[in-house]
C-alpha cells in the first residue's frame, strides 16, 4: 500500500566506488552537476566532522515518527547511508544517541534526517556522519506509517534507493546511480584544475583575464 510499505532495494552503488568520493569536496561534485541539485542549506552536519559517502537506504516517514527508521536500521548493511524524508518537521527528534550507537555497531556510513535529532552533544562528540535540519529534546512517536526503499525528495533533490549520497561540512548531495562513475571522473578533473589554480595564485601566475572577458560579453558599462 502506498505510504505504508517496505520494498527491496534493487540496486546499490558499489562501496569501493563510493569511497573514492570521500576525499572530494561535495562543492566540486555539485559544480560538476551544473549546481542544479542540493538537499538544502537546512541540512547541517551534526557530528564531529567526518565525510560521508555510501548507497542510500531511503525512508519516508510521517513527521515526528521513527518506526520506519528503526526498521531501516534492522535492514541496513555496512556502508549504507540512511536517508530520511520526514518533511523537515522539527517538532520531534527522530534519532538520538541510542540509534546512532546502533548504527555505529552495524557499520553504516551515516544518517541524513530531514527533520530533527536529539542528544546533540553526544552526536557532535562522535564521528558517525549525521546530517539533520535541527535539534529538539522532544522524542519521537513509533506508530508509522511510512516507506522504505521508495524514491524520496529533500529540498527538491530526488533520492532513489541505492543512489550515492555524499556529505561534508558544506552539506549533502545525491549522485544518481547511473551517473556515479562519470561524476567521479569529472570531479577528479575539476579537483586537479583547482589545485593548479591555487598554486598559480600562490606563485603569482593566476590569469584572471576571464573576468573582463565576461564583463565585455554581458555588455557591462565600465567607467575609465
CA pseudo-torsion sign 92, 97, 100, 106: negative
Report the C-alpha gap between 188 and 28 in whole angstroms.
9
Q: Which residues, in sequence order, are bridge partners of residue 132? A: 44, 113
Q: Which residues, in sequence order, are bridge partners of residue 175? A: 164
Tell whether residue 96 is among the known ligand binding residues. Answer: yes
Residue 126 DSSP label: S
Tell whether residue 108 is among the known ligand binding residues. Answer: no
Report the C-alpha gap between 11 and 178 in whole angstroms.
11
Tell whether residue 118 is among the known ligand binding residues. Answer: yes
- Indicate the helix (H) or strand (E) that contains 187: helix 180-203
Q: For cell 537546512, what's the residue?
A: 42
End-to-end Cα separation, the chain, in angstroms: 68
Tell whether residue 10 is among the known ligand binding residues. Answer: no
Annotation: binding site for substrate? 96-99, 118
Please state the residue numbers annotated as binding site for Mg(2+): 119
Annotated binding site: 96-99, 118-119
Amino acid at each position: 500500500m502506498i505510504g505504508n510499505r517496505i520494498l527491496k532495494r534493487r540496486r546499490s552503488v558499489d562501496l569501493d566506488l563510493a569511497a573514492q568520493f570521500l576525499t572530494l569536496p561535495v562543492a566540486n561534485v555539485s559544480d560538476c552537476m551544473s549546481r542544479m541539485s542540493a538537499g538544502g542549506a537546512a541540512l547541517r552536519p551534526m557530528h564531529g566532522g567526518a565525510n560521508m559517502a555510501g548507497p542510500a537506504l531511503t525512508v519516508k516517514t510521517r513527521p515526528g515518527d521513527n518506526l520506519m527508521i528503526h526498521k531501516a536500521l534492522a535492514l541496513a548493511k555496512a556502508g549504507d547511508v540512511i536517508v530520511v524524508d520526514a518533511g523537515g518537521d522539527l517538532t520531534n527528534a527522530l534519532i538520538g544517541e541510542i540509534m546512532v550507537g546502533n548504527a555505529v555497531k552495524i557499520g553504516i556510513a551515516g544518517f541524513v534526517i530531514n527533520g530533527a535529532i536529539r542528544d546533540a552533544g553526544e552526536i557532535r562528540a562522535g564521528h558517525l556522519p549525521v546530517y539533520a535540519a535541527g535539534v529538539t529534546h522532544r522524542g519521537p512517536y513509533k506508530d508509522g506509517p511510512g516507506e522504505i526503499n521508495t524514491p524520496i525528495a529533500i529540498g527538491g533533490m530526488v533520492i532513489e534507493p541505492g543512489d550515492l549520497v555524499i556529505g561534508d561540512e558544506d552539506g549533502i548531495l545525491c549522485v544518481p546511480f547511473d551517473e556515479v562513475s562519470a561524476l567521479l571522473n569529472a570531479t577528479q578533473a575539476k579537483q586537479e584544475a583547482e589545485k593548479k589554480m591555487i598554486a598559480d595564485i600562490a606563485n603569482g601566475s593566476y590569469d584572471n583575464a576571464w573576468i573582463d572577458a565576461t564583463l565585455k560579453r554581458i555588455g557591462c558599462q565600465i567607467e575609465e
